[in-house]
Amino acid sequence: MLNRDEDILQAAENWQKAGHGVALATVVETWGSAPRPAGSSLVINDDGTFLGSVSGGCVEGAVVTEALDVIASGKPKMLEFGVADETAWNVGLSCGGTICVFVEKVGQS
């Protein structure tokens, strides 16, 4: 029935094999009422195409932007989003929670 994260990780592998730069963003910690639990993930390729979700849509745009940096640099990054964040007005979580998202490049040697 529900296909949860299945297709996302397969897409990551397929994109990588097709020669794309690919990043994987995963919710690793949550506080308060976070929209998606730890382990939820988003995969992003160097076209800016993405699949999956790490929030209800609140911060995906920002994660994609950071993911493109990670694809370019190859260095993993930890991102934190919450209402207390100074960029909250733009990309904060309307539900009042805080989430940490770990972004890593797929295919590092």
Contact residues for other proteins (CB under 8 A)? 1-2, 4-6, 9-10, 12-13, 16, 24, 26, 28-30, 34, 37-39, 75-76, 78, 102, 104-109
Torsion of CA 10, 60, 47, 51, to 10 degrees: 20
Residue 69 CB coordination number (10 Å): 12
Residue 80 has phi, psi (to 5 degrees) of: -125, 135
Any idea which residue has 């694809």 for tokens?
Answer: 71
Please, which residue, 24 or 89, has the CB nearer to other proteins?
24
The distance of closest approach from Cβ of residue 104 to other proteins in the complex, given in angstroms and rounded to an integer, is: 5
Q: Shortest distance, CB of residue 57 to other proteins, whole angstroms?
A: 19
User: Which is nearer to other proteins, 37 or 86 (by Cβ)?
Assistant: 37
